[in-house]
């Protein structure tokens, strides 16, 4: 699994370098420069990265990210490409756990914001690696959704999530499910079956984990 964290990192860095600093991403309001700065702060500034999950520190984290984004773009891309060995989220002991989803999602954030994108055909063992995280991710992302959600990845497995209510079925390849559950519903290729009201709510909910 570690190799996919690393290969997605390299692919993201290559794409950032090819596109330049001012292209859109799926992260609302962020250009490629902004996304690169986010990756760097998460890995290299634990004091500011805490703002991602700790609301009182959010303003501080955003100030550091904006300041980091002023770095020359080539330097930003180089720092995305090469994680510091001491990083609490990217050191060799935890890289696979923390970064397989992180870099897959951000690679797709850049890819799918560009004209003419198409889903990638991922290697089966990469899809399997993504699937191992989905049951926990689904429970977290859907914990407030008033529905009984059955998450299915044909050939990989299924998981249950949601806060209870009408049955909804969410079906797709593991990579597409990861994007949906991370809040990229509009850019994910999944199938949703169930009562129209619950389906519409899931397609527009603020999901994430």
Q: Are 170 and 142 in contact (CB under 8 A)?
A: no
- Report strand pairing: 191-193 vs 167-171: antiparallel
Spatial strand order in the sheet of 167-171: 157-161, 148-153, 167-171, 191-193
pLDDT tens track for 143-182: 999 999 999 999 999 999 999 999 999 999 999 999 999 9
Structure tokens at 83: 């994680």
Which domains does the chain possess? 2-111 (no CATH), 126-204 (3.30.1050.20)
Euclidean distance between the first and the last CA atom of the chain, given in angstroms as a whole number: 20
**How many CA within 13 A on the CB side of residue 170?**
33
Structure tokens at 20: 């330049």
What average pLDDT does this structure show over 59-77?
92
Task: Give, as one character, the DSSP assignment of residue 24.
Answer: B
What average pLDDT does this structure show over 128-140?
96
Q: Which of 140, 159, 149 is nearest to 101 (CA)?
A: 140
Pinpoint the alpha helices (H) of 114-204.
Answer: 124-141, 174-181, 196-204
**Taking phi first (over 0 means left), then psi (-120 to 50 degrees means alpha), and beta for anything else, what does residue 71 get?**
beta
Kindly report the number of other CB atoms within 10 A of residue 162's CB atom: 24
What average pLDDT does this structure show over 103-129?
96
- What are the residues whose beta carbons fall under 8 Å from the beta carbon of 68, sequence distance 6 or more? 37, 40, 41, 45, 76
- Cβ burial of 208 (10 Å; 0-12, 13-18, 19+) is exposed
pTM above 0.95, yes or no: no
> Of 10-14, 55-59, 87-91, 158-162, where does mean pLDDT reach its minimum?
55-59
Structure tokens at 150: 């059955």
Arithmetic mean of pLDDT over the chain: 93
- Token look-up 């806060």 returns 163
Distances from the Cα of 126 to the Cαs of 40, 108, 189, in angstroms? 24, 15, 17
């Amino acid at each position: 699994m570690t190799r996919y964290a690393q290969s997605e990192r390299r692919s993201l860095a290559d794409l950032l370098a090819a596109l330049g600093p001012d292209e859109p991403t799926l992260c609302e309001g962020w250009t490629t420069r902004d996304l690169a700065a986010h990756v760097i702060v998460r890995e290299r500034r634990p004091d500011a990265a805490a703002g991602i999950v700790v609301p009182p520190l959010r303003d501080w984290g955003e100030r550091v990210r904006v300041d980091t984004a002023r770095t020359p773009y080539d330097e930003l891309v180089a720092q995305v490409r090469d994680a510091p060995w001491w990083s609490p989220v990217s050191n060799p002991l935890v890289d696979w756990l923390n970064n397989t989803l992180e870099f897959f999602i951000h690679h797709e954030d850049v890819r799918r914001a560009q004209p003419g994108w198409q889903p990638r055909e991922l290697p089966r063992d990469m899809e399997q690696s993504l699937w191992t995280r989905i049951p926990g991710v689904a429970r977290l992302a859907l914990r407030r959704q008033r529905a009984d959600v059955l998450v299915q990845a044909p050939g990989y497995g299924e998981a249950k999530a949601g806060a209870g209510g009408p049955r909804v079925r969410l079906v797709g390849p593991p990579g597409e499910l990861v994007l949906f559950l991370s809040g990229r519903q509009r850019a994910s290729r999944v199938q949703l079956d169930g009562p129209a009201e619950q389906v519409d709510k899931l397609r527009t909910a603020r999901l994430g984990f």
